[in-house]
């Protein structure tokens, strides 16, 4: 290979670093627009000159980023040809200092493979769209109140990153939006690893927060899927949803305090998640949610909570204090979930506004102690087709809403309790108003669906609980 090397001495003085533009040897092809750099100033120069399709590669090493940051200003890739800024090897370029990359007025930018160790928030501002953070390692300063990554721009992708090891108050990943009430649109968060947040306070240590109370009525259309959460103990809410119209699916939560909580907002979907051990499962406030195909087992606090409210419905014009309050859960559909061995299986709360018009259908509830259903005041609930089993009492579920029969579950090596041949749950679902194509394993649902999260099958799961091999910088 022939190489042309330019020293950017005017930018770096005596500490000049090389920028190398690769050209193909005879008979071979090289990636067009690949720029190899070996220093922060050279990286800045390459970014300033970048055009769509360029790939800027920073050599492995440990770098201290100056307080001015690495600026990505007014740079526009395209959907087909983004501008990509990448470490030579995954995690090989370590960025220390007060800041890292500073984005402004840019779009279709991919930042990949860095180890971020900065002391301030990594921000995707509202004037930047289609920004992708992929295969990075985030372990920012363990400073109280510091949120590590904040997304305000539309169509961001946050995938295959690792967020890990902090002991202070603060959130790994926040999605907000422009102004005071809007939300960033269509954020896609997938294949990330969130682990080891040991903050022991009561609030403010979520792994992911989608929105905040004053943005709750804004639709975000975020999708949070195929992420693994382990030992996320910073908050009872590992995934805290405070906006509307989001989908939380196919995630795995293991051995942490935090659960999946639709804290504010409406029309959320929680589907196909695995909660294995830890404290909390799924908790719901707001209206018109769908909770299906989830497997929740071994939690020491609560499996599913159907929340009561300090208000009936959040609405435009309410006070800040009113907006912070709990909105009673109305018109949710909670169906085809399997809950096994939780300290509390389905439970409620005692605020002034009771939940209303909720459907609880075709779930499997199994426990050896306590009550399988422990709800206070409710109004207009529909209970049907549920299967209850174990030495726990039935609790407050009405007599026509269940059968007490052994569902014949088998706990597999991955920790999931699935149906066995001859289970009375097979073909026994009753709630026909719900269209549901697949089960938690990714198997097709039959025309006559099975009760619970699992549709009986002898095939291997298409989707099983995630392990560290499925997420993070080295995931497929």
Q: Compute the C-alpha angle 159/95/31, nearest 5°.
A: 60
pTM, full prediction: 0.93
Euclidean distance between CA atoms 313 and 358, whole angstroms? 15
What pLDDT score does 254 carry?
98
pLDDT digits (tens, 9 = 90+) for 320-364: 888 889 999 999 999 999 999 999 999 999 999 999 999 999 999
Q: Across-strand partners of 403?
A: 387
pLDDT digits (tens, 9 = 90+) for 242-284: 999 999 999 999 999 999 999 999 999 999 999 999 999 999 9
pLDDT digits (tens, 9 = 90+) for 420-447: 999 999 999 999 999 999 999 999 999 9
CB count within 10 Å of CB 231 equals 18
DSSP state string for 280-305:
EEEEE-SBS-EEES-EEE--SSEEEE
> Is-contact 275 249, C-beta < 8 A?
no
> Is-contact 454 419, C-beta < 8 A?
yes
CB count within 10 Å of CB 58 equals 25
Q: Which residue has the higher pLDDT, 213 or 319?
A: 213
Which residues make Cβ contacts (< 8 Å) with residue 72, sequence separation at least 6?
47, 85, 101, 102, 103, 104, 106, 109
- From 222, 276, 267, 286, select the one nearest 249 (Cα to Cα): 222
What pLDDT score does 320 carry?
82
pLDDT digits (tens, 9 = 90+) for 314-329: 998 888 888 889 999 9
Which tokens belong to 331? 């018109």
> Is-contact 294 315, C-beta < 8 A?
no
Q: Across-strand partners of 347?
A: 305, 374
Residue 202 binned pLDDT confidence (cut-offs 50, 70, 90): confident
Q: Is 470 helix (H, G, I), strand (E, B) or coil?
A: helix
- 16 has a pLDDT exceeding 70: no
What pLDDT score does 77 carry?
97
What pLDDT score does 336 carry?
98
- 385 has a pLDDT exceeding 80: yes
Mean pLDDT, rounded, of the chain: 93
What pLDDT score does 1 carry?
31
CB count within 10 Å of CB 121 equals 17
Q: Which domains does the chain have, with CATH numbers?
A: 2-468 (2.160.20.10)
What pLDDT score does 21 carry?
37
- Is residue 188 exposed (0-12), middle (13-18) or buried (19+ Cβ within 10 Å)? middle
Averaged pLDDT, 393-406 = 98
Q: Which bin fits 204, alpha (ψ -120 to 50), beta or left (φ > 0)?
A: left
Averaged pLDDT, 44-62 = 97
What pLDDT score does 321 carry?
84
Averaged pLDDT, 111-119 = 98
pLDDT digits (tens, 9 = 90+) for 124-179: 999 999 999 999 999 999 999 999 999 999 999 999 999 999 999 999 999 999 99
CA atoms within 13 A on the CB side of 380: 10
């Amino acid at each position: 290979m022939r190489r042309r090397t330019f020293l950017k001495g005017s930018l770096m003085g005596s500490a000049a670093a090389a920028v190398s533009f690769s050209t193909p040897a005879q008979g071979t092809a090289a990636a067009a627009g690949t720029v190899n750099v070996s220093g922060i100033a050279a990286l800045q120069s390459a970014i300033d000159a970048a055009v769509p399709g360029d790939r800027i590669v920073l050599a492995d090493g440990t770098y201290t980023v100056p307080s001015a940051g690495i600026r990505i200003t007014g740079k526009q890739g395209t959907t087909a040809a983004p501008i990509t800024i990448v470490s030579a090897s995954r995690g090989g370029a370590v960025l220390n200092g007060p800041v890292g990359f500073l984005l402004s007025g840019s779009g279709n930018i991919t930042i990949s493979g860095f180890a971020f160790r900065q002391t301030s928030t990594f921000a995707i501002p509202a004037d930047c769209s289609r920004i992708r953070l992929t295969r990075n390692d985030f372990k920012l300063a363990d400073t109280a109140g510091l949120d590590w990554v904040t997304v305000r721009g539309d169509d961001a992708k946050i995938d295959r990153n690792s967020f890990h090891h902090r002991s202070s108050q603060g959130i790994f990943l926040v999605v907000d939006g422009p102004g005071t009430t809007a939300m960033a649109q269509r954020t896609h968060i997938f294949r990330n690893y969130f682990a080891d947040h040991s903050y022991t306070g009561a609030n403010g240590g979520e792994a992911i927060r989608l929105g905040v109370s004053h943005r709750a009525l804004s639709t975000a259309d975020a999708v949070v899927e195929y992420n693994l959460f382990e030992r996320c103990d910073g908050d009872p809410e590992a995934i805290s949803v405070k906006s509307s119209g989001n989908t939380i699916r196919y995630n795995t939560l293991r051995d942490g305090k935090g659960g999946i909580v639709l804290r504010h907002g409406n029309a959320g979907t929680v589907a196909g998640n695995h909660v294995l051990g830890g404290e909390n499962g799924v908790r719901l406030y707001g209206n018109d949610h769908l909770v299906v195909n989830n497997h929740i087992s071994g939690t020491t606090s609560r499996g599913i909570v159907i929340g009561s409210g300090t208000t009936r419905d959040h609405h435009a014009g309410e006070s800040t204090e009113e907006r912070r309050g709990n909105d009673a859960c109305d018109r949710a559909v909670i169906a085809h979930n399997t809950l096994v061995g939780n300290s509390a299986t389905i439970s409620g709360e005692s605020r002034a506004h009771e939940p209303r018009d909720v459907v609880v259908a075709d779930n499997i509830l199994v426990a050896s102690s306590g009550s399988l259903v422990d709800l206070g005041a409710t109004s207009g609930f529909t209970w049907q087709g549920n299967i209850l089993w174990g030495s726990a009492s039935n609790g407050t579920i009405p007599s026509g809403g269940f059968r007490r029969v052994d569902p014949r579950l088998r706990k597999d090596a991955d920790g999931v309790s699935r149906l066995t041949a001859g289970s009375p749950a097979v073909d026994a679902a009753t709630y026909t108003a719900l269209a549901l194509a697949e089960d938690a394993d990714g198997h097709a649902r039959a025309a006559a669906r099975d009760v619970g999260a699992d549709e009986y099958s002898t095939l291997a799961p298409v989707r099983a609980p995630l392990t560290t091999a499925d997420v993070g910088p080295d995931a497929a």
